[in-house]
Chains A and B, each alone.
Chain A
């Protein structure tokens, strides 16, 4: 009977899959271009399974559908990241991104953001106002009390999934800063 010979393949394949999973590229460096948001999404390892997620995201009004095959959304199943091409003139609704992914059957982890704008300080916090669409970001992890840069700067950082989900309309987006370019 051949069946007993096949049985060991099941745990073997399971073990291999765990190895493959561990070798995923989710920790690969994030490279942000202007007018893009990259969302780290847990479990996006199959585009066919995430077809609904892409469809949900493609309906967001602040995307630029001229990119990524005509819908402004690019899924990378090897890094579990979804890149959104943004319309530079329209503020980003991070809550809508989070909801689209949740309804799609997945869980957003964080969004990687790159914004060029002007920094202001007040009330013990540092704010960045986007030069292209006026959207405000609250810069976390930046020392307060220092003189604000005189001109525009480019800030890269992360918005957590919790903050994406609970952001209120008009509220500055909490951004954990990872890099600032152009500051004196």
Chain B
């Protein structure tokens, strides 16, 4: 289960929960600060986000089963994410995770506790966008090739890296008016075979963010976004030291964004509404995240 947990952590860090705001969503799949910013030539930004998920619910397929050994998992990740905009159509993004995680799993029929901490696998993306500015709205479509580098440590009982170089691509579209923000992203990761017997399956996902912009003050450029977030994931069958990985998952939740000038704060919560795991695995559980981003 190790690689799956690791990969999920990375992916969720890279997954949209935004907006750009429009907006205001600092946690987009391939746009670290947000989908819509910085869209100006020479613009740059960074954000720090903390995400957490974990569970002690044991699943067999779609069914929750008894967990007599007290198996559980907890993963906290601090993301440092940066972005540079060469011109509105071309950006470069970098996501650097620091992972602190622990779990209790079964090895040889007995529960074993393990933990891992350190720099995870760095993700680099190249969003290529085409914007359309209209009278009362703006929108863009984008294709984003990405690479995930094996920078995370693969040693220990719960390693923060799997040692593989992975390649991804995302196709996204967003639409924004003064009152509504929407973002849709269909993405794919081809996961290479890792070290120490870790071999995570390829992944395909779909993310949707729909945001409402109930408040904005023109003079101070301050406002709030409220968003509904949907994330669907399919991960091909794989293996790690503790057993099979892979499955399907759909989760949904809410995010709130406060922004003023070039600063944005974001908080989010997401819970699984459907999970179908390969073999027996722990549920991913609820996810929470907070972040602060800056653009210049």
- CB within 8 Å of B: which residues of A? 1-3, 6, 9-10, 13-14, 16-17, 20-26, 41-49, 51-56, 68-69, 74-78, 80, 103-107, 109
Contacts and interface: CB of A to CB of B under 8 A. Distances in A.
B43 A48 contact: no
Contacts, number: 160
A56 B85 CA distance: 15
Contacts of B273: 1-3, 6
B256 to A, nearest CB: 14
A13 B20 contact: no
Contacts of B88: 105
Contacts of B134: 21, 42-43
Nearest to A27: B135
Interface stretch (B5-13, B153-161, B170-178): B170-178
A68 B218 CA distance: 9
B20 A46 contact: yes
Q: Which 6 residue pairs are nearest across A and B when measured between Cβ atoms?
A: A52-B40, A24-B136, A43-B133, A43-B138, A105-B39, A17-B180
A49 B36 contact: yes
Nearest to A56: B40
A106 B133 contact: yes
Interface string B127-166: 0000111111110000000000000000000000000000
A6 B252 contact: yes
10 contacts: A6-B230, A10-B210, A21-B134, A24-B137, A26-B135, A45-B22, A48-B23, A49-B37, A51-B38, A78-B216
A13 B40 contact: no
A45 B37 contact: no
B262 A10 contact: no
Contact of A49 (B21, B182, B252, B261): B21
Interface residues of B, number: 53
A46 B36 contact: yes
Interface of B: 20-24, 34, 36-43, 88, 131-138, 175-182, 184, 208, 210, 213, 216, 218-221, 223, 228, 230, 232, 250, 252, 259, 261-262, 264, 273-274, 295
Given A16-B180, A77-B218, A46 B135 contact: no
Nearest to B23: A46
Contacts of B223: 47-48
A48 B37 contact: yes
Contacts of B132: 43
A24 B216 contact: no
B25 to A, nearest CB: 10
Given A6-B230, A9-B228, 19 more contacts: A1-B273, A10-B208, A24-B135, A24-B178, A42-B134, A43-B131, A43-B132, A43-B138, A44-B138, A48-B23, A48-B221, A49-B23, A51-B38, A53-B40, A69-B219, A74-B218, A78-B218, A105-B88, A106-B133
Contacts of B221: 47-48, 51, 54, 75
Nearest to B276: A1
Contact of B178 (A48, A77, A105): A77
Contact of A45 (B41, B176, B230, B250): B176
Contact of A48 (B41, B180, B184, B264): B264
A27 to B, nearest CB: 9
A25 B40 CA distance: 24
Max count, chain A CB within 10 A of own CB: residue among B136, B210, B219, B295: B136
B218 A47 contact: yes
